[in-house]
Amino acid sequence: MRIALGSDERSRLTDFVEAELRRRGYDVELFGPPAGDSSPWPDVAKAVAERVAQGKSDEGVLFCWTGTGVSIAANKVPGIRAALCADAETARGARAWNQANVLCMSLAGTSEEVAGGILDAWFSAEADASEEENVQKVNELDRRYRTPLGARPAASAEKGNKT
């Protein structure tokens, strides 16, 4: 399995997660400072999310200080279901019930021990078939509200708002 891993800064946590993924036998592709590049978090999130959306990586793992920014940015890429996970149970649920494909974690709030548990839960969870209808409803929301690059959403145009 190929994992795209990115962060806006290299840290003990990113090094730990990279090493842990490799130890588990995953092929890891690095983005941002872990790869030696200086990149802001939106760019790192975009790069990782695009790799997953294009099928060039099977899953993604992203980090920023809180994990929120990379989660928001990655979710802008069609086909991405990025989940900010602070514990193993959230990671398990994100995979089982939401079919998340990009794991986001906080550099500030995640210990190596907790990250190991999150990885265990994320990679061992299987999709819960009873949630398929809900997953399809989210897919429909994604299709309905995506706008072509540069297009103004209807609600903003109607209100005369600038985007």
Annotated catalytic residues are 64
| Whether 88 contacts 120, CB under 8 Å | yes
Structure-token pair, residue 18: 């990279």
Structure-token pair, residue 162: 């600038």
Q: Which residues pair with residue 4 across a beta bridge? A: 29, 60
E strand residue ranges, 2-161:
2-7, 27-31, 59-64, 82-84, 102-106
E strand residue ranges, 85-138:
102-106
Dihedral sign, Cα of residue 32, residue 38, residue 13, residue 81: negative
Residue with tokens 């990009």: 102
SS3 73: helix
Q: Which residues pair with residue 89 across a beta bridge? A: none
